[in-house]
Structure 1
Amino acid sequence: METTICALFTIFLSTVICCMIVLCHLVGLETEAVSSYRFPTNGTKVGYFIAANLLNSEDIFPQFSHEIVQLATMLGRTSHTFISIYENGSRDKTKKFLQLLSKMLTEKNIAYKIVCDSASFSNDIDSIKRLALVRDKALAPLFFLHSYNQLHKQTKIIFLNDIYLDSLEIYRLVKTRAENYDWVCGLDFYRGFYDRFVSRDIRGRIFSRWYPYIREEETKRLLIQQVPLPVRSCWNGAAVFSAQPVIQHNLTFSGSLNNQNDSRCGNPRSECHMLALSFRKYNYTRIWINPKILISYDSTHLKLQKLIHQHFRPFFGFFNDILMHWFQKPWLDDDDACPQLPMLCC
């Protein structure tokens, strides 16, 4: 009798599980991470590792797919490329677009790994730590390639946010200073300069939202002249940095967050800022912004900023200098424990 009951219960439980799986597929949900990949053949050395995190990003497709393939093709003329994309929790058509992208990459013979994950994070984890975790997921194949000796000594990591991707702009960013840098960014915009959570000038001060963005005279002059300028840290929608310190010192976004001694505030402002500080900790201090590279998150803001920078940049710089001089508090010094954003720029 007990054996019969156990058998019936097992059948019932199996039926319930099967029904749940079928239901998940019917409503378009996924029960686990789904990966598609094509790794380089043996003996291939990857010179450019392109990484991206996407979430509810259907608005940037199909532009993103076309441009990332184009970017890999342009870079692939001199060295092999690898594309790593980690997506999790999207409720729009992002997963479907990524499935199409994986087919495009396979047809173009481009090595890649795309992960579409349904994993969710505990509410106990704050947003910065969650971002660090998902960025680490996109970075993970780099360590796999290293374990199989498939990285160049000079491999560059090209890490993209969910930007309106322009392959030529990112290609030019990669080629800044003939690739003689440890880390380089452009300038990103959304209703003014955007990524002020990460960007610090050479003295460690926060950028302004408005042109010319920085107050330190020497680097401001370089920015006005449209030549690369040294900074303490940056990200700005897309960052290109050396893989060597990442591999050599096992650097991750999450690991950099845990190094609270690098933070000047009680809580880190950004996982990207903390990774840049980890670079500096190991003496990889050649961090630059190329002001010619303009990045945004939709075509409208990108076109607007290109128009402003081309025709109205000097006027805005003069106007901002007057306002900063007469109406705004002085920019904070390096020894401030936790710099606040300037009043005019908030």
Structure 2
Amino acid sequence: MKGSERIYAALLLVCLFYILVSSPVLKHAEFIIRPAWKAPTTGDVSESSDLAVDETVPVEAESFVPFGYDMEGKASPTFNLGFGEEKVDLVSSPTLADVDESRMAMTGPYISAIMNPRDTHFDRLQCPRPLKSRYKMLRPKGSLPDKTQQPPRRYFFALNLYQCAYVLPRLLGSVVEAMRFLGPEDCVLSIVGGRSDDGTTEILVALKNEVEALNATYYFGTSDIDPLQNGNDRVTELAKLRNLALGPLLTQQDSYAKDTSVIFLNDVSICTDDILELIYQKQHQRADMVCAMDWNNHGATFYDSWIGRSMNGDLFVEIPQSGSFEFSHNLFWNDPKARSRIDDKLPLQVFACWNGAAVFKAEPLLLHNIRFRAAYKGECYAGEPTLFCKDLWTLGYSRIAVIPSVNVGYNDEQSRAVKEKHGYASGNIQQTEHDLGLSTGIEWKKSPPELVKCQPDWTHSSWAPWDEAVGEHVPFDWSRSGYFNAKRPFDKELEFENDGKDETGHWAVETMATASPKLQRRK
């Protein structure tokens, strides 16, 4: 080769190398070699978005550990969430130090129960088989792509789980069965835990291989965020945890279908037909968001009283200025139409809800970048689900509904009583739609109530415009407001009476003497 030809070849190689390193192909290859959660920076967010990323709740540098990459302590991918100008690392390398070896050795019965609906090791809530003919519309249509192609995910399960080993056999067992029915390759399970010493963390670590063997995608991470830590604003911290659970959805948007549904569950004892019915009603009603009904005191008291708002703007239950809960059993006392639909187990539109289990469109999160957040400056102090619903209304997502056929409690004993009093979803469907022939259709209203009840705590209430402060989007530090545990007075009434008896299952008594049986509420 002549000298001029060598120079030409060298220049050509340099150009090719420059093109390669500048190409997105290399970035794509990096994700294939080392998968990671990579959050969009502020530059990736359209300035025309109604609610930009920098308007979400600021996140501090609490650690977030995604298990499953390398449990031997090698470096793992970094997961950043961008909030405003600041990008905060929320990940440290997962190591064996994050789990307790003795508790890890005792996870077997839990994993067996979660993966096998016929397992009887735990005295968990017994659930009916789902109505396959009703829910077949939720399964993938047509043939699946070959194994070299990854179909876009359509179902994203998100959970924040802390100190709740007692409910995992029923809760996660139902989630696994729902994913099996929907098509595991169509499903993602994302769980954020941390700080638990009752075996919750170890169970969730051990679950990884089983879920992935189904061909579903599983993310589990831990965070040090403590909503009840002295000096923290509870709502702000809860919003952070919820956003972390949504991390794989928010940061890998190309992996999801346009009609993806988010199934966000609290630490509830729930059946598979409950989950499928919520997803079904979201699609059948063409809703933007649907919620279950959660209960306390063996089904006598509606639980999520602080969050819900009806279409007349009021709370679901009457709370007088004294803060008394003597009327808490009287749902929709000043909305006769809503009360009638609740009694008949018919879906009804509301302004805001959560109620232990919610299913909503991923679209407003992906297209408009809304996130769970605390109240803005000048805005009524409210729970992060209430504000999430408010932001949905602001963006025109007004179809928010409660599905009264789905009723849950916060442990197996409570859910048994709830199902006995309010019915299983499958039984309610049979009675309402088939026996009585009632129409389940919702007459949707496009306009929200002009005024919505502001209830920053249980003794101070007022009325405020539904869209108060949504135009300014000015963040506010609520940690010194006096409201950071606005729900605590109600928590005391919601504790289950166990008289020192174990209600948390076999873990606390038979397999984990050091586990705390304390029942944790909405996290």
The answer to which of 100-109 and 288-297 deviates more is 100-109
Q: Are 2:189 and 1:72 equivalent residues in the alignment?
A: no
Amino acid at match of 2:255: Q
Amino acid at match of 2:256: L
Conserved 8 A contact 1:206-1:339: no
Partner of 1:196: 305
- Deviation of 1:306 after TM superposition, in Å, equals 2.2
Conserved 8 A contact 2:260-2:361: yes
Bigger share in helix: 1
Structure 1 residues 53 and 291: alpha-carbon distance in aligned structure 2, compared to 1, 3 A threshold: same
Conserved 8 A contact 1:128-1:271: yes
The answer to which of 99-108 and 211-220 deviates more is 211-220
- Deviation of 1:337 after TM superposition, in Å, equals 5.2
Conserved 8 A contact 2:315-2:453: no
Conserved 8 A contact 1:54-1:85: yes
- Deviation of 1:162 after TM superposition, in Å, equals 0.8
Partner of 2:517: none
Conserved 8 A contact 2:309-2:352: yes
Structure 1 residues 41 and 276: alpha-carbon distance in aligned structure 2, compared to 1, 3 A threshold: farther
Q: 1:219 is matched with which residue: 334, 338, 342?
A: 338
Distance 1:202 1:66 in 2: 35
Normalised to the residue count of structure 2, the TM-score between the two structures is 0.50
- Deviation of 1:335 after TM superposition, in Å, equals 6.6
Amino acid at match of 1:126: D
What are the superposed Cα offsets for residues 140-173 of structure 1, whole Å, 9 maximum, x if unpaired? Answer: 1101220xx1211111111011111312111111
Partner of 1:242: 361
Conserved 8 A contact 1:52-1:86: yes
What are the superposed Cα offsets for residues 225-253 of structure 1, whole Å, 9 maximum, x if unpaired? Answer: 21100101000001111110111111111
Partner of 1:83: 189
Structure 1 residues 335 and 127: alpha-carbon distance in aligned structure 2, compared to 1, 3 A threshold: closer
- Deviation of 1:200 after TM superposition, in Å, equals 0.8
Conserved 8 A contact 2:167-2:412: no
Name stretches of at least 5 consecutive residues in structure 1 with no aligned partner: 1-23, 30-39, 311-332
- The SS at the match of 1:61 is helix
Structure 1 residues 44 and 193: alpha-carbon distance in aligned structure 2, compared to 1, 3 A threshold: same
Normalised to the residue count of structure 1, the TM-score between the two structures is 0.74
Distance 1:54 1:335 in 2: 31
Q: 2:376 is matched with which residue: 259, 262, 266?
A: 259
Structure 1 residues 187 and 26: alpha-carbon distance in aligned structure 2, compared to 1, 3 A threshold: closer
Amino acid at match of 1:194: Y
Amino acid at match of 1:140: G
Question: Identical aligned pairs, as a percentage?
Answer: 26
- Deviation of 1:123 after TM superposition, in Å, equals 4.0
Partner of 1:132: 239
Name stretches of at least 5 consecutive residues in structure 2 with no aligned partner: 1-95, 102-146, 318-327, 424-449, 462-489, 494-523
Conserved 8 A contact 2:314-2:453: no
Amino acid at match of 2:267: D
- Deviation of 1:124 after TM superposition, in Å, equals 3.3
Q: 1:181 is matched with which residue: 282, 287, 290?
A: 287
Counting only pairs closer than 5 Å after superposition, residues 1-346 of structure 1 correspond to structure 2 as 25=97, 28=100, 43-76=150-183, 80-118=186-224, 123-146=230-253, 149-176=254-281, 178=284, 180-191=286-297, 192-208=301-317, 209-254=328-373, 257-260=374-377, 263=379, 265=380, 267-268=381-382, 270-309=383-422, 334=451, 338=455
- Deviation of 1:125 after TM superposition, in Å, equals 2.4
- Deviation of 1:128 after TM superposition, in Å, equals 1.1
Amino acid at match of 1:274: L
- The SS at the match of 1:185 is strand
Distance 2:339 2:290 in 1: 17
Conserved 8 A contact 1:65-1:101: no
- The SS at the match of 2:388 is helix
Structure 1 residues 290 and 260: alpha-carbon distance in aligned structure 2, compared to 1, 3 A threshold: farther
- Deviation of 1:64 after TM superposition, in Å, equals 2.7
Structure 1 residues 292 and 120: alpha-carbon distance in aligned structure 2, compared to 1, 3 A threshold: closer
Structure 1 residues 222 and 120: alpha-carbon distance in aligned structure 2, compared to 1, 3 A threshold: closer
- Deviation of 1:104 after TM superposition, in Å, equals 1.3
Structure 1 residues 197 and 49: alpha-carbon distance in aligned structure 2, compared to 1, 3 A threshold: same
- Larger Rg, first or second structure (1 or 2): 2
Amino acid at match of 2:358: A
Conserved 8 A contact 1:84-1:139: yes
Conserved 8 A contact 1:206-1:341: no
Partner of 1:321: none
Conserved 8 A contact 2:161-2:191: yes
Conserved 8 A contact 2:225-2:241: no
Conserved 8 A contact 2:350-2:402: yes
- The SS at the match of 1:176 is helix
Distance 2:452 2:263 in 1: 32
Amino acid at match of 2:259: Q
